[in-house]
Chain A
Amino acid sequence: MAAKTIISRPIYGTLSPQPGKHHLFIADAEGALAITDMAGKAPSGFFDGAEIVFIPSPESKHIAALEALKPMQLHVAPSFASLLPRLKQTLTNAHMGLRVYLAGTEGLIGQAMQVALEAGIDHTSIETEHRGSLARRMQCVHCKGITENVTTQPATCSHCGLLLLVRDHYSRRLAAFQGVCINAEDRSEIPPIEEAFP
């Protein structure tokens, strides 16, 4: 569970079953366990109206556990990028009252939240639970490129190559933390690079 630091940094909760007939779950890797944990608290028949979209880890764990919940639909996708067209379509066609649940890494929660916001769903109505890696999605404030799965502090921008301080300042619109050049005033200063977001 990531610690709260500054106000723009997202705070995640624990998934809980919401009233309603239609439920959309989006999860990656260990996020599957947030769904199976929640299932114990769900009323019977809850998953009859649920779609689960799941991006497994490379070891393909937890797929069977999700199948066992007998959701109306289980869709397994290889990556978030591959999932995006389908997700946009699902949200565009969604009826009023659809409940959205996001579980897994911050990158997954942030990007799925971004798509949901664009579809007009209020962020405070979305259930979230952080599970698994603390890796961050980072936008370089200088070149605007996004670097995925940042685990170190500082981190190198995968686009322009500047060494960036990964701030806690977070944009829901960009689904990213802000990266700012850490040695802009004197490029010869190279601070030690530490594993900060394992």
Chain B
Amino acid sequence: MGITFRKETFRDDFTFKNSPEHIRRFPFPFNEDAYMYAVNIEPHVVGPKGSVLENLIDVDEHYVAEMQDRALVLAEDPLRCQSLPHMTLAGWDLLELLMEQQALGYPEHFTLERDGDRWHWINRPLGIDDTFTFGDTSTLPYGPMEYITRQSQGDFCILDQRDGNLWMDAGMVTTQADWSLDFDIGMNFFEWHAPVPLAHEKGIFVRALKFLTNIQQGKPARRLNWTMTINPRLDTSPENYHKWGPDRATVTPENVGDKVHLRVELQSFWRLPRSNGIVFPIRCYLIKMDELVTQPKWARRLHRVIRDLPEELATYKGLTRYRPTLVEWLSKLDDGSATSPGFGPD
């Protein structure tokens, strides 16, 4: 039967919503009542049916609307998609990975047929039916990375591995939590993470880099990251911060439930076979407070996490202006009772 794709927007009238089934499958990122950085990386293996981990590349009811929003962002600002000249082979690696995974997980929506280098790709939700020669960029309407990431949910960074480091040398980044691909492209792992507070001192990035440079083909890994966004806006880029920043001053006790969204990134890390690069998909999930608190455990736990978050982290995540209003609103849903272990709802 397949997925029923929602018609919705991530800008202007903000009609984005989660269906009740999608609320239950939301990747809630807190497994205890407090949050601090950790190298929370684990093997990216298939998870329970009905969860966002049912397939390693998740396609959900927001797919078509997200791809339409990406096209709007790219039309306004083509610098959101860049690839340094030595990264084309890695782009083909990524095209193969995403076509294979989407066709495997969602055969009713995507089909990949291969006859040697002649590939036939059908993407039914977006009405695409293309035949091309794998490895020959002239047979596609865009470069391989741009072509496939215009058809895949989430941002994608392709990292080149050399000198014992990872280099951000290509990416499609239109749904980012406030970092600029155009500024960071060409930087190494420590450089592009330089603005993150506290984590360098804790040795987080040294350990994470060691882990990532050892990732093997066929053994991807994943971690969750989170922040909050006012309105279900995918494009919270620094480029447009002067346009979306004022949203943060619009939160009132009356509209918290509708305006404030938890934004969770499912980050995964995959070794690419030909280029030996790493691709780093950053899949963004949004849920408004009204939807999240339909799960009482999540409401109680989120209240405690946001209330007790260290000030530096709250500032870095941009919560400062509306945190008191949010905590006050959530406190009414927290009766102080214990929360069950684990991420999932009760």
Contact = CB atoms under 8 A, between A and B. Distances in A.
Interface of A: 6-9, 139, 141-142, 144, 162, 167-169, 171-174, 178, 180-181, 184-187
A120 B195 CA distance: 27
B192 A8 contact: yes
Contact of A8 (B79, B182, B194, B249): B194
A171 B187 CA distance: 7
A168 B187 CA distance: 14
B131 to A, nearest CB: 37
Max chain A C-beta neighbours (<10 A), residue from B200, B238, B246: B238
B248 interface: yes
Interface residues of B, number: 25
A169 B245 contact: no
Given A7-B200, A172-B186, A174-B183, A181 B242 contact: yes
B195 A167 contact: yes
B182 A144 contact: yes
Given A6-B195, A7-B200, A167-B195, A184 B246 contact: yes
Contacts of B238: 141-142, 178, 180
A178 B191 contact: no
A180 B190 contact: no
A7 B190 CA distance: 7
A59 B224 CA distance: 57
Interface of B: 79, 180, 182-187, 190-195, 200, 238-242, 245-246, 248-249, 321
A7 B186 contact: no
Give me the 8 closest cross-chain CB pairs, A-B, nearest first.
Answer: A184-B245, A8-B194, A8-B191, A7-B194, A6-B194, A173-B186, A185-B245, A181-B242
B230 to A, nearest CB: 10
Contact of A181 (B195, B241, B248): B241
Task: Please classify the interface of chain A as helix (H, G, I), strand (E, B), loop, or mixed, using the class held by over half of its residues.
Answer: loop
Given A141-B239, A169-B183, 16 more contacts: A6-B194, A8-B187, A139-B183, A141-B183, A162-B242, A171-B184, A173-B187, A178-B238, A180-B238, A180-B241, A184-B241, A184-B246, A185-B246, A185-B249, A185-B321, A187-B246
Contacts of A6: 194-195
B14 to A, nearest CB: 18
Given A7-B200, A141-B180, A167-B195, A185 B248 contact: yes
B107 to A, nearest CB: 42
A184 to B, nearest CB: 3
Nearest to A178: B183
A186 B79 contact: no
A169 B240 CA distance: 18
Contacts of B200: 7
Contacts of B180: 141, 178
A84 B101 CA distance: 48
A187 B242 CA distance: 9
A109 B187 CA distance: 18
Contacts of A178: 180, 183, 238
Nearest to B182: A144
Nearest to A5: B194
A185 B245 CA distance: 4
A161 B193 CA distance: 28
B193 to A, nearest CB: 7
A6 B199 CA distance: 12
26 contacts: A6-B195, A7-B194, A7-B200, A8-B187, A8-B190, A8-B191, A8-B192, A142-B239, A142-B240, A142-B242, A162-B242, A169-B183, A169-B194, A169-B195, A171-B183, A171-B186, A171-B187, A173-B187, A178-B238, A180-B238, A181-B241, A184-B242, A185-B248, A185-B321, A186-B246, A187-B246
Given A184-B245, A184-B246, A185-B248, A7 B193 contact: yes
A77 B249 CA distance: 50
